[in-house]
Structure 1
Amino acid sequence: MKFSLITTLMLAAAPSALLAAPIEHPARVDAVTLFPWGAQVSRSVAVAEGETEVLVPNLPDGTDVASLRVSGAGVRIGAVTLIDERQPASDAVTSPEIEAARAEVERLEAALAAGEDAVAAIRAQALAAQARVAFLNRLDTSNTPPDQVATLAATVAEGVLEASRQALVAEAEARAADLALRPDREALEQARKALAALEHPARDSDAVLMQVSGAGTVTITTFVSDAGWQPAYDVRLDRAQGVLSLDRLVSVHQASGEDWSGVALTLSTARPSERSAPSELWPEFLRFGPPDEPVLMAKAERGYAMEAAPAPEADAALVGAGALEMVGETVTYRYDGAVDIRDGVEDLRLQLDRLDLRAEVLAEAVPMLDPTAYRIAEARNDSGQVLLPGPATLWLDGAVIGASQLPLVAAGAELRLGFGAIDGMQLRRIVEQAQEGDRGVISKSNERSETVRIEVENLTGEAWPVRLIDRVPYGEQEDLEIGYTATPKATEENYDDKRGLLAWRFDLGAGAKQTVDLETTIRWPAGQVLR
């Protein structure tokens, strides 16, 4: 990407001021706002008085220019250029990170030198002992009186033995001391690599070149698509208190091309990656004509209709009106303390908070499909916050009983979760009578009838509120007659907005049994098949 036209014009207008090399100011990420899909990344640069052109290097390769925002506090910002190819020469300003890395290298070099000096001193002792051995071995005894030769030989032998022992001990100590320096050498090598990475960063990165005036702080904000967070939940049901507690955790990930070290982390429920407007509905074009009309003619007229009402642009709808637009009611969480999120991390788990919701617990029975009832907790999300979808570990009265997937629950909406089977709540559905045949003398039709007995028996030793769910068929054809009778009468028809579903609500004491009789009659014209 070349310099912008604005930058080129400014260079031409004031060559004496602007043709000097820009001041390079490395900037680290200091704040991140994570969305469920995407992240807003901010970094700050201190600009001194007199600096007119600043180069901020080492932005992630592929930084989106559409999402790039530059603002200043005490600094006026002029032309801003995002550079993703050859970067201009600059007068680099040593960053605090580089200064700290150099100081660490110097400290480790001094410590290692002191250790190596100590090893050399020990080896010097070994060399001195070896020199004594060599001296004693070369000692001339030819002029020694015969009566003193034996004494001198013993003295020499004793001296050689002691000097050899000292040499061996000193050499062993030197080897041990040198081996003890291995961690210091490794630490120095790592420090040198870290310093080299800071002083000579990889150039497959982007940079921002900007014209500035004044002194203060410049904030550079970019948007990263390959990042996000997902909630995870520990959902705890306390039946005695009637409380559903949601311990919220978050799993964060990012693959921006750089590490985020010691950043201030904010989690937002906004979804800027999603579209910001509803789908556009277009008129439906219909026509009629003779049944033998050529297919090509129909296709041609359909094509004309499409030209009159063009189809919506799917790609634009998916992208949305603005990549950084905040949509709807947004809740943000500021995480306490600085956070390290490395590039490529898949699942960093952070603790968030707890929400307590009042819950109704009941036994829900579907005897057509299940032999036992299930424990269901229903609560209203009165937290004032949207609950994003995520995996949930389920706890019942302090014990883990399974896992589920929490759906997206808007503020004020109902939350419904199952907490396992109630083994002592037994269900039976018995078809007592089923018959099908013709009826009528002059006008004939088909008829099918079925009588079902449904039983719910509570063997748990405690009373339970129960919701029993069953069904009767439904149809929309005028000549299809469907009728039913239920004893006792169903509490709710078309339960959960599903046609034909019936629900009964009742309390069932310990050891008690509830029976429901359900009779269904279906009639349809003769010569037709019921499907």
Structure 2
Amino acid sequence: MIKKNLLVLALAAVPISVAADITQATLYPSHGDLTWQETQTVKQGDGVITINRLPVSLQDQSVRVSLGGVAGAQIQQIEIGRVEQTGYVSEQTQRLRNELTQVLEKLQAQEDAIQAWNQQVTLMTKAAENPHELSATELSDMAAALKQTTMAALAEIRGIRTQMRDDIALKDRLERELSQAQQNARASKKAQIHYRAPAGGDLTITLEFQSNEARWRSEYNAQLSSQVAGQKANDPKSGELTLQHLAVVQQTTGDDWRNVELQLSTANARRGTNMPPLDSWVVSPAQPDFLVRQMKSAAPMLDSSATAEVEADFGASVERQSTFSQSYRLAQPVSVPSGGNGQRLIVAEHTVAVEMAVWTAPAYDPTGYVHATGIFIAEAPIPAGPVQLFRDGQSVGSTYLSEMTNGEELRLGFGVDEAIRVAVVNETERTGEEGIWKSEQVQRRQNRFEITNHHGDAVNLRIFDRMPVSQIDILTVKPLQISEPVERNVDDKKGVLAWNRTVPAGETVSVQSGFEVRVPEGNQLPNL
């Protein structure tokens, strides 16, 4: 059954029917612009070209059609219809069915093996119930043999059931994917293009449309090399960070793409097109609490229509870039199967000269972490995405990279440095009441942080601590012994301290950090 979305006066036409195979795709983080192109030999006059098996996710309002090859050829009418299909089974569906059949057969074989072993245990149990006339020695030997055989059979059953767990999980996944694929395969769309050709010839038809079932996202591999060619042996600062940009391409249109010319754009339409409206901000003197509560309960809800849209949460060449976005064109056509698993393609590599240091906050975590800091240089911004971290070829974990633009500081952590030992020595910890005429509650804490370098070379350290920050007048905070030089209010965070030190191989560096907190009598000290 076909439901027509566009009704225009039709012209008499000789139909030409072709299947829709995608030839080009421009993917965005939110959707895809897909292109179908075909050349057909046509006769002079009116005609109709029907394009079948278009994805059901095709957005009708986005359809654009152009004609070429025959001078003066014109489009008279475009009809987009939905086709409910009963016999069509995509290649993806057939593949899933074959894989599911193999898994079911394997599970059945495992069940048969379990049943056979259970039968053996049953037979052995019945044999033990009818020992006839046996001597005590024979009974003992038979019991031992029964026990050994039964234990072996039960062990086999347990082993088979263990193997079945992964197969059962695979079966469940394939059944879910098959259900989704069959749902997509039950319907498609088709386009009927009515044209008028002033002469016969080879007519090229280009159909472009948008689909939200094709998109891409960014992932990264960050590889830190602590030893760089030309680096001085006694220079602990320099390193090189290679940031590999991967495009995870995914499409679930129901048909596999073969040899598609692929372009990737960083532009994201889901961020909206306009800034939200900015109305007047009317304020008034503070009101008593009960009046404020009444005003809040009577206030109308914010009109959701006035807010901007927000995001839910092969080598390539840079083809086009602007201040706002960048696009990559894959060097060779690619094939992308329809399904939930994304295909990863390398689109760019960025090399960043970094300074390396071991960061530690001893009072909160006596561990040293390798950090690399450098300036990101690129012609256009790169999107945010997850990052897999590698240090000198070893995997050390993962993190998340925010969107980066040219000239921004790139800072990544690369796991624990096992050759750095951190110790905290509590030199003073005192809480009590002080004062003769005016009593106050006082707490003093003085720590010494000792960091030892067990590397064969010098290491840069960045040591962090923090001081309490008072928000009320009656609570006063005073620093005690603080090693100099020290950086205060790091990253504009009040009370955060940082020391930069270089520790030679095999040596120990120490810094001091302490504070005093006071409150008047009758008030409690904070829980520090």
**TM-score, normalising length: structure 1:** 0.67
Report what 1:76 is aligned to: 74
Evaluate the alpha carbon distance shift between residue 319 and residue 349 of structure 1 in structure 2; reply closer, same or farther with a 3 A threshold. closer
1:382, CA displacement in angstroms?
A: 0.4
Given residue 269 of structure 2, which amino acid in structure 1 is its aligned partner? P
Report what 2:389 is aligned to: 394
Report what 1:374 is aligned to: 369
CA contact (8 A) 1:490 1:503 kept: no
CA contact (8 A) 1:401 1:420 kept: no
1:280, CA displacement in angstroms?
A: 4.6
Evaluate the alpha carbon distance shift between residue 528 and residue 70 of structure 1 in structure 2; reply closer, same or farther with a 3 A threshold. farther
SS of residue in 2 equivalent to 1:63: coil
Equivalences for residues 17-416 of structure 1 within 5 A? 18-46=11-39, 48=42, 49-73=44-68, 75-85=73-83, 204-214=187-197, 216-241=203-228, 242-280=239-277, 298=295, 301-303=298-300, 310-313=302-305, 317-318=309-310, 329-397=324-392, 399-412=393-406, 413-416=408-411
C-alpha distance in 1, partners of 2:506/2:368?
15
C-alpha distance in 1, partners of 2:326/2:394?
30
CA contact (8 A) 1:433 1:451 kept: yes
SS of residue in 2 equivalent to 1:371: strand
CA contact (8 A) 2:57 2:253 kept: no
Q: Percent identity?
A: 26
Evaluate the alpha carbon distance shift between residue 33 and residue 291 of structure 1 in structure 2; reply closer, same or farther with a 3 A threshold. closer
Which structure: larger Rg?
1
Report what 2:143 is aligned to: none
Report what 1:526 is aligned to: 521
**Deviation string, structure 1 residues 127-157 (Cα, Å, up to 9, x no partner):** xxxxxxxxxxxxxxxxxxxxxxxxxxxxxxx
C-alpha distance in 2, partners of 1:63/1:512?
67
C-alpha distance in 1, partners of 2:186/2:46?
24
Equivalences for residues 359-508 of structure 1 within 5 A? 359-397=354-392, 399-412=393-406, 413-508=408-503
Given residue 82 of structure 2, which amino acid in structure 1 is its aligned partner? D
**Deviation string, structure 1 residues 493-529 (Cα, Å, up to 9, x no partner):** 1213322211111222112222212220112233222
Given residue 429 of structure 1, which amino acid in structure 2 is its aligned partner? V
Evaluate the alpha carbon distance shift between residue 23 and residue 365 of structure 1 in structure 2; reply closer, same or farther with a 3 A threshold. same
1:437, CA displacement in angstroms?
A: 2.5
C-alpha distance in 1, partners of 2:290/2:308?
40
1:289, CA displacement in angstroms?
A: 5.2
Evaluate the alpha carbon distance shift between residue 465 and residue 313 of structure 1 in structure 2; reply closer, same or farther with a 3 A threshold. same
CA contact (8 A) 1:80 1:210 kept: yes
Given residue 2 of structure 1, which amino acid in structure 2 is its aligned partner? K
Question: What runs of 5+ residues in structure 1 fail to find an aligned partner?
Answer: 12-17, 88-201, 321-325
C-alpha distance in 2, partners of 1:530/1:71?
77
SS of residue in 2 equivalent to 1:313: helix
1:292, CA displacement in angstroms?
A: 5.8
CA contact (8 A) 2:446 2:481 kept: no
Question: What runs of 5+ residues in structure 2 fail to find an aligned partner?
Answer: 86-184, 229-238, 313-320
Evaluate the alpha carbon distance shift between residue 69 and residue 319 of structure 1 in structure 2; reply closer, same or farther with a 3 A threshold. farther
CA RMSD in angstroms comes to: 3.1
C-alpha distance in 1, partners of 2:441/2:330?
68
**TM-score, normalising length: structure 2:** 0.67
C-alpha distance in 2, partners of 1:239/1:319?
37
SS of residue in 1 equivalent to 2:477: strand
C-alpha distance in 2, partners of 1:239/1:476?
43
CA contact (8 A) 2:74 2:196 kept: yes
1:374, CA displacement in angstroms?
A: 1.7
Stretch of structure 1 that moved more, 359-368 or 273-282: 273-282
CA contact (8 A) 1:362 1:466 kept: yes
CA contact (8 A) 1:261 1:339 kept: yes
Evaluate the alpha carbon distance shift between residue 486 and residue 76 of structure 1 in structure 2; reply closer, same or farther with a 3 A threshold. farther
Given residue 247 of structure 1, which amino acid in structure 2 is its aligned partner? Q
Given residue 226 of structure 1, which amino acid in structure 2 is its aligned partner? E
**Deviation string, structure 1 residues 102-135 (Cα, Å, up to 9, x no partner):** xxxxxxxxxxxxxxxxxxxxxxxxxxxxxxxxxx
| Aligned length in residues | 396
Given residue 235 of structure 1, which amino acid in structure 2 is its aligned partner? A
C-alpha distance in 1, partners of 2:289/2:405?
53
C-alpha distance in 2, partners of 1:279/1:432?
55
Given residue 245 of structure 1, which amino acid in structure 2 is its aligned partner? T
Evaluate the alpha carbon distance shift between residue 222 and residue 319 of structure 1 in structure 2; reply closer, same or farther with a 3 A threshold. farther
Q: Are 1:2 and 2:13 matched, yes or no? A: no
